[in-house]
């Protein structure tokens, strides 16, 4: 997993819960990296899993909710790091339906070792989109957060439903409705 | 709430750690970048060599094209042209500007709009084929060009350039014009000749008719005063007039015999001979033998009929009234069909063998012979790319040989 996902996460934890919380979740995890991350490095996904689980244990916020919040936050990181890529889209649905065959394709060109999910589009209309998320990392809630921020970014309203197809969350169907 | 110093220390350690990690990664990336650049400049160099080789190969190829060859961009600017091209242009355009050249600059002003139209047409349909362009060279005479040009597409099917080749067909065109003119002349001459022959024969015949009527009148007027002797002399004059008339008709026939060009068709020699036998009604006392193999070949039907009819008529005339025998022979030579017609007639003395094919030579005073027949046959045979000759001894029959050139079906 890319270092920026870790550094942004730990910054967010520090700003919301303080440096003690950062220290706590790092100290209580058995991290491959020893706990230090740089945005240009690449690290084990299991590190992220431990950090998030320990944050959940220490805050009584569920892992899913934490991922959702982090996803919503992460969009602003993408926005400042890759403004050109976002500028190519005029609406949320256009952007969401292009993740698989454009956005993440470009990401892989920049970072050949990126671990990206796949999105299979089931149907698409002017105001709706159905697609299936697939990833062994089961970060669909992170995706949901990104989607919500996407709509906020374009000043659009949405109703996003999702349904786990695999119990562990590695395959999830999203039904996205654009509201007027 | 103050953060404990332990925590701060650990945070600081992590920061240091990650800074070192970042520096290490950057260092490593820098090395990677350096070697990549090295490799890139190496491949760039190799590519340049390759491109250079290819383009020198290309340009020597282009130079070696005999006809003027041009490679243009899609706006008509010259990318490459061979020497034949620059020679041509310097021949037709006196003030070629310096620097980057456009095709338009290379053609004389009064040809530019036509050139522009042709270029536009090529861009639209992808090519132009056999466009003829006549341009004046500096000394004022015309150069005729045959132009073929097409758009060059890259791997993705996008038009990238245009190429054209111009063939100087001036000499060819002159030859063609000359040939056309000659044909026209010949046709006019033939017509004149034909007309002339008709007029001459008519003019020659009318005094004969006058004489004929005069003699008739004298005979009826003076029938009781004329002696036996005078009457038989008048009889002879009559015959001579008749002969004279036949001769004149003969000349007319000879001179007009192979004037027209005639269509070739596939003709069976056996059919020709049998048809002629019907037409001239070969008498029963004559046996005609045909060889087992006779060809079917490409020839003008009229001319082969004419030859066969003349030779058969002659043979029939000269064979004896009892046991007359006419035998046809055939042999295929390398590029000719050779036929022969043999008879058991009176034969022809050696000294006459050449004479008989000349105009006005007839051996006997046969009543229905003008002496022109064989000369016409010879003319017709010659017109078919063949020859005719005779083998004979006096009293032992005669064999007339003739050949006809084998025509290629494709012509
Ligand atoms: C400009 C737009 C985007 C960029 C540049 C981008 C880039 C990235 C990058 C760099 C990662 C991390 C890969 C790694 O850690 O190896 C990632 C992961 C992810 N992206 Fe995107 N992304 C974009 C938009 C989106 C959007 C709109 C979604 C919405 C569904 C999305 C869904 C995800 C998810 C769910 C992951 C987590 C990895 C996983 O689930 O396996 N991305 N993306």
Cβ contact B15–A18 (<8 Å): no
CA distance B34 to chain A (A): 18
Distance, in Å, from the CA atom of A22 to the CA atom of A20, rounded to the nearest integer, reads 5
pLDDT at B1: 59
Q: Which domain holds residue B335?
A: 265-405
| CA-based nearest residue to B2, from A77, A127, A19, A69 | A19
Mean pLDDT of A28-47: 94
B288 shares a domain with B248:
no
Give domain status of residue B72, yes or no.
yes
Distance, in Å, from the CA atom of B204 to the CA atom of B101, rounded to the nearest integer, reads 75
pLDDT at A121: 96
Instruction: State percent of chain A over pLDDT 70.
Output: 100
Binning chain A into helix, strand and coil, the percentages to the nearest 5 are 50, 20, 30
Domain A88-179 carries which CATH code?
A: 3.90.1520.10
B249 shares a domain with B272:
no
CA distance A80 to chain B (A): 21
Residue B371 or residue A51, greater confidence: A51
Could you tell which of A78, A82, A93 is best to mutate to test the pocket of ligand 1, judged by most ligand atoms within 8 Å of the CB?
A78
Instruction: Tell me the C-alpha to C-alpha distance, in Å, between residue B120 and each of A172, B113, B127, B128, B164.
Output: 58, 11, 10, 10, 13
pLDDT at B86: 84
B295 shares a domain with B212:
no
Instruction: Specify the range with the lowest mean pLDDT, choosing from A66-70, A136-140, B228-232, B285-289.
Output: B228-232
pLDDT at A93: 96
- Is any ligand 1 atom within 6 A of the Cβ of residue A107? yes
pLDDT at B292: 92
B269 shares a domain with B193:
no
* DSSP code of residue B350: G
Give domain status of residue B411, yes or no.
no
B299 shares a domain with B236:
no
- Is any ligand 1 atom within 6 A of the Cβ of residue A13? no
B162 shares a domain with B108:
yes
| Angle (deg, nearest 10), helices A140-153 and A63-81 | 50
Nearest to B17 among A23, A34, A40 (CB): A34
Give domain status of residue B187, yes or no.
yes
Could you tell which of A101, A117, A131, A154 is best to mutate to test the pocket of ligand 1, judged by most ligand atoms within 8 Å of the CB?
A117
Please count the structural domains in chain B. 4
List all residues 6 or more positions away from B346 whose beta carbon is below 8 Å from its beta carbon.
B318, B394, B395
pLDDT at B338: 96
Q: Whose CA is nearest to atom 29 of ligand 1?
A: A143
pLDDT at A133: 97
Q: How far is the CA of B80 from the centre of ligand 1 (A)?
A: 51
Binning chain B into helix, strand and coil, the percentages to the nearest 5 are 55, 20, 25
pLDDT at B189: 86
Nearest to A38 among B7, B10, B21 (CB): B21
Q: Domain of B276: which CATH number?
A: 3.30.565.10
pLDDT at B258: 65
Give domain status of residue B343, yes or no.
yes
Cβ contact A20–B7 (<8 Å): yes
Cβ contact A20–B17 (<8 Å): no
Low-confidence ranges of chain B (pLDDT < 70): 1, 257-262, 359-372, 408-411
Q: How far is the CA of A48 from the centre of ligand 1 (A)?
A: 15
Cβ of A22 under 8 Å from any chain B Cβ?
Answer: yes
Q: What angle do CA B34, B35, B38 make, to 5 degrees?
A: 90
B399 shares a domain with B275:
yes
pLDDT at B206: 86
List all residues 6 or more positions away from B363 whose beta carbon is below 8 Å from its beta carbon.
B348, B352, B356
Provide the ipTM: 0.82
CA distance B19 to chain A (A): 7
Give domain status of residue B397, yes or no.
yes
Give domain status of residue B410, yes or no.
no
pLDDT at B411: 39
Six-digit token pair at A145? 């957060």
For B274-387, list the strands marked E by DSSP. Answer: 286-289, 296-299, 324-332, 336-343
């Amino acid at each position: 997993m890319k270092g920026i996902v870790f550094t942004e996460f730990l910054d967010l934890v520090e700003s919301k819960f303080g440096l003690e919380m950062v220290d706590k979740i790092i100290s209580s995890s058995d991290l491959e990296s020893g706990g230090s991350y740089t945005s240009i490095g690449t690290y084990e996904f299991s590190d992220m899993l431990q950090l998030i689980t320990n944050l959940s244990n220490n805050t009584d916020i569920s892992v899913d909710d934490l991922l959702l919040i982090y996803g919503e936050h992460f969009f602003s990181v993408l926005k400042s790091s890759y403004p050109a890529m976002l500028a190519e889209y005029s609406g949320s649905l256009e952007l969401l339906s292009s993740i698989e065959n454009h956005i993440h394709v470009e990401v892989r060109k920049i970072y050949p070792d990126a671990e990206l999910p796949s999105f299979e589009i089931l149907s698409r209309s002017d105001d709706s989109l159905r697609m299936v998320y697939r990833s062994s990392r089961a970060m669909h809630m992170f995706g949901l957060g990104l989607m919500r921020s996407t709509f906020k970014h374009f000043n659009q309203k949405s109703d996003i439903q999702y349904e786990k197809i695999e119990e562990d969350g590695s395959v999830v169907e999203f039904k996205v409705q654009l509201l007027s | 709430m103050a953060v404990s110093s332990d925590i701060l220390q650990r945070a600081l350690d992590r920061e240091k750690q990650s800074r070192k990690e970042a520096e290490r990664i950057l260092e490593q990336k820098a090395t990677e970048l350096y070697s990549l650049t090295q490799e890139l400049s190496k491949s760039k160099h190799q590519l340049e060599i390759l491109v250079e080789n290819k383009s020198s190969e290309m340009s020597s190829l282009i130079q070696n094209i005999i006809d003027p060859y041009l490679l243009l961009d899609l706006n008509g600017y010259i990318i490459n042209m061979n020497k034949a091209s620059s020679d041509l242009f310097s021949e037709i355009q006196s003030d070629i500007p310096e620097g980057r050249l456009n095709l338009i600059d290379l053609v004389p002003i009064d040809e530019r709009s036509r050139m522009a139209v042709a270029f536009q047409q090529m861009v639209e349909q992808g090519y132009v084929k056999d466009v003829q362009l006549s341009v004046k060279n500096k000394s004022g005479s015309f150069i005729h060009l045959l132009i073929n040009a097409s758009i060059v597409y890259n791997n993705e099917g996008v038009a990238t350039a245009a190429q054209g080749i111009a063939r100087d067909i001036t000499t060819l065109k002159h030859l063609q014009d000359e040939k056309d003119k000659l044909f026209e002349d010949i046709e006019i001459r033939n017509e004149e000749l034909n007309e002339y022959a008709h007029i001459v024969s008519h003019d020659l015949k009318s005094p004969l008719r006058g004489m004929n009527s005069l003699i008739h009148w004298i005979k009826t007027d003076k029938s009781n005063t004329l002696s036996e002797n005078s009457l038989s002399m008048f009889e002879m004059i009559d015959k001579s007039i008749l002969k004279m008339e036949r001769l004149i008709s003969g000349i007319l026939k000879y001179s007009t015999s192979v004037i027209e060009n005639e269509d070739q068709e596939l003709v069976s020699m056996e059919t020709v001979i049998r048809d002629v036998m019907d037409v001239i009604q070969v008498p029963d006392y004559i046996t005609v033998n045909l060889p087992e193999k006779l060809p079917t070949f490409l020839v003008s039907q009229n001319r082969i009929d004419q030859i066969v009819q003349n030779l058969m008529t002659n043979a029939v005339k000269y064979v004896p009234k009892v046991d007359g025998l006419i035998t046809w022979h055939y042999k295929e030579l390398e590029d000719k069909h050779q036929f022969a017609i043999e008879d058991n007639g009176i034969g022809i003395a050696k000294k006459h063998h050449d004479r008989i094919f000349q105009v006005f030579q007839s051996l006997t005073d046969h009543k229905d012979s003008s002496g022109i027949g064989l000369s016409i046959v010879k003319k017709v045979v010659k017109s078919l790319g063949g020859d005719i000759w005779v083998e004979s001894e006096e009293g032992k029959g005669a064999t007339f040989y003739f050949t006809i050139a084998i025509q290629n079906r494709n012509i």
